Amino acid sequence: FDTMVTNSDFISIHVPLTPETKNLFDKATILKMKKDAYLINMGRGGIVNESDLYEVMKDGHLMGASLDVIEKEPMQVDDPLLTLDNFVITPHIGMYSKESVGSVSIVCAENVAAMLTNKGELKNIIQ
């Protein structure tokens, strides 16, 4: 973990929120990152300590950060992270598109039919 944190140009987080991952990226961890690195959290809110992220970023330590999950949603309009030019917040619906919703719906329906008729294998929604 420390090798990844200290050597990566981009860190993209995709882990569940557990007691072990709560505040995994706190001030101490973020300060181990390269100054020109980017931190992206697409896992769960609470993995990145947002107050610590702000403190580190306002001091110019990271090149940028993006969160699509935060600990307390929705983000408040006066959140200090929103004052930073190198911070981006996005909704946690990256897969949401007309095409993906249609595809997921079809796979779900096919899986229900396969279960009810005992015919065919279940398909994975994520391909």
92 noted as active-site residue: yes
Q: Looking at residue 123, what is its pLDDT?
A: 72
Residue in 55, 61, 71, 92 annotated catalytic: 92
CA angle 36, 38, 41 (to 5 degrees): 160
Burial-class residue 77 by CB neighbours within 10 Å (0-12, 13-18, 19+): exposed
**Residue 74: is the preceding peptide bond cis (ω within 30°)?**
yes
Q: Are 43 and 13 in contact (CB under 8 A)?
A: yes
16-20, 26-30, 86-90, 120-124, range with the lowest pLDDT: 120-124
44 noted as active-site residue: yes
Q: What pTM value is reported for the model?
A: 0.75
Confidence band (pLDDT; 50, 70, 90) for 125?
low
Q: Looking at residue 101, what is its pLDDT?
A: 74
Confidence band (pLDDT; 50, 70, 90) for 110?
confident
- pLDDT > 60? residue 127: no
Place of tokens 């983000």: 75
